[in-house]
Amino acid sequence: MDRMIITKFVLSSLVTFVGSVAAYADCNPKDFMVQETTSIQQSGSTELAFVLTATQQEYESAKKNIAGSGSYGLFSGALSYGQAQEKARQIAESTKFDYKNSYASNYLAQSLSGKALDAYVECIEKDKEKPGLALWLQSREGDYFTFRAFWVGANTNLPAAKYDAPPIVDGGSIIGKPDAWLKSKTEEIVVKRNGNNDMYLNLKVGGQYKTRVIVKDPPAVVWAKQPVLSKKMMTASSHGPNPGCSAGSDSDTIHPLHPGGYFVANTRTTNHATSDPSRYGETFTVDRPDQVSVTITQSTGACEVNQTAKGQLQAVETFPTAADAS
């Protein structure tokens, strides 16, 4: 099989991979992630992949099981399913995460880990008496990927089988594989990937075959920082006749400007100037990662003397961006 044919097969597999996983009717990786959400929360990329591909029921079920709002705030209690998906798409664009369903689904499936992976494997291994070739990614260390598989022939009385053809790997090389296959025995195949590229693995054993595609890792993400300065200049002046004059006030609110961004704690300020500091006041009525609101006041010690204050609300935002972004 020449490289062009393999490449076409890889692209096709990227689209159909989820369907091949779903062949195990009760063994959908996402179902186990919803119950054991550590796999979803292991990185911002897995959170993105989950929200981009989740149904409303899957999203809401996972949200109930997740403590906190996640790296990007995608599981915030204030977000609806539709809002979370839109926010995920915006973050994916800013971090250069490929948000096509084919990529996100593959990336999510190959990120299964911990108790969710254990439950998924247990589900697959319930079918050890049914004809077929089961193949899944068990673990990864750097560019070394350990797959596990088991074989059962169409004639379930056959005790063993050999390869119908040498394993095909595009984008990597076989490091270790079983010499022969015993019925229903779980074996390991270790493949070293050639750098951060898509990798294709095809096995043909005893009349059965299976393909798996490992998609490349998303770009690394760095968290940049940038001050958010309100466009509004607040103004507060004392006013009224003597006696009975009163303080003046003004208010303002700012929000993060970038997808997935939030305000760094203890960075909000008003950049203010006042004609009478002793009678100037400010109260931050909202001080959250997603919003800062303030009210400034200015009074006077003598009604015949008007005092004025001006202020501009500011806070430092941190937000995700692709590491190689200019």
Same domain, 72 and 42: yes
Please tell me whether residues 164 and 242 are part of one structural domain.
Answer: no
pLDDT per residue as tens digits for the range 267-304: 999 999 999 999 999 999 999 999 999 999 999 988 88
Residues 77 and 100: beta-carbon distance below 8 Å = no
Tell me the two tokens of residue 324: 């190689």
Computed on alpha carbons and rounded to an integer, the radius of gyration of the chain in Å comes to: 29
Q: Are residues 167 and 239 in the same domain?
A: no
- Same domain for 234 and 184: no
Per-residue model confidence (pLDDT) at position 71 = 85
pLDDT value at residue 223: 94
243: cis peptide before it, omega within 30°?
Answer: yes
What distance in Å separates the CA atoms of residue 206 and residue 134, rounded to the nearest whole number?
13
Q: Of 214, 231, 258, which closes a domain?
A: 214
Q: What is the pLDDT of residue 205?
A: 97
0.85 surpassed by pTM: no
Are residue 198 and residue 106 in the same domain, yes or no?
Answer: yes
The predicted-structure confidence for 163-212, as pLDDT tens digits, reads as follows 999 999 999 999 999 999 999 999 999 999 999 999 999 999 999 999 99
* Residue 76 and residue 165 share a domain: yes
In contact, 229 and 314? CB cutoff 8 Å: yes
46-100 tens-digit pLDDT: 999 999 999 999 999 999 988 888 889 899 888 899 999 999 999 999 999 998 9
Single-letter amino acid, residue 92: A
What is the model's pLDDT at position 10? 42
Residues 166 and 202 grouped into a single domain: yes
Classify 223 in phi/psi space as left (phi over 0), alpha (psi -120 to 50) or beta.
Answer: beta
Rounded CA gap, 66 and 119, in Å? 18
Edge-to-edge, what's the strand order for the sheet holding 291-298?
A: 248-254, 291-298, 280-288
Residues 142 and 121 in one domain: yes
Query: Do 42 and 166 fall into the same domain?
Result: yes
pLDDT at 9 exceeding the cut of 50: no
The answer to whether 260 touches 97, Cβ cutoff 8 Å, is: no
pLDDT of residue 6: 43
Helix intervals (H) in 74-154 = 81-95, 101-109, 114-124
| pLDDT score for 172 | 97
- Domain final residue, candidates 214, 235, 265: 214
CA 207 from centre of chain? 39
Same-domain status, 314 and 200: no
Same domain, 210 and 225: no
Reported as half-sphere exposure (CB side, CA atoms, 13 A), residue 166 has a value of 7
Considering 214, 240, 257, which residue would you say is the last residue of a domain?
A: 214
The domain of 60 spans 3-214
Number of domains comprising the chain: 2
Using the predicted structure, report yes or no on whether residue 28 has a pLDDT greater than 70.
Answer: yes
pLDDT above 80: residue 12: no
Residue 317 and residue 56: Cα distance in Å, rounded? 30
Which of the four pLDDT bands, split at 50, 70 and 90, describes residue 4? very low
pLDDT of 20 > 80? The answer is no
Mean pLDDT (the chain) is 90
Same domain? For 209 and 225 the reply is no
Contacts with 226 (C-beta within 8 Å, 6 or more apart), sequence order: 257, 258, 316, 317, 319
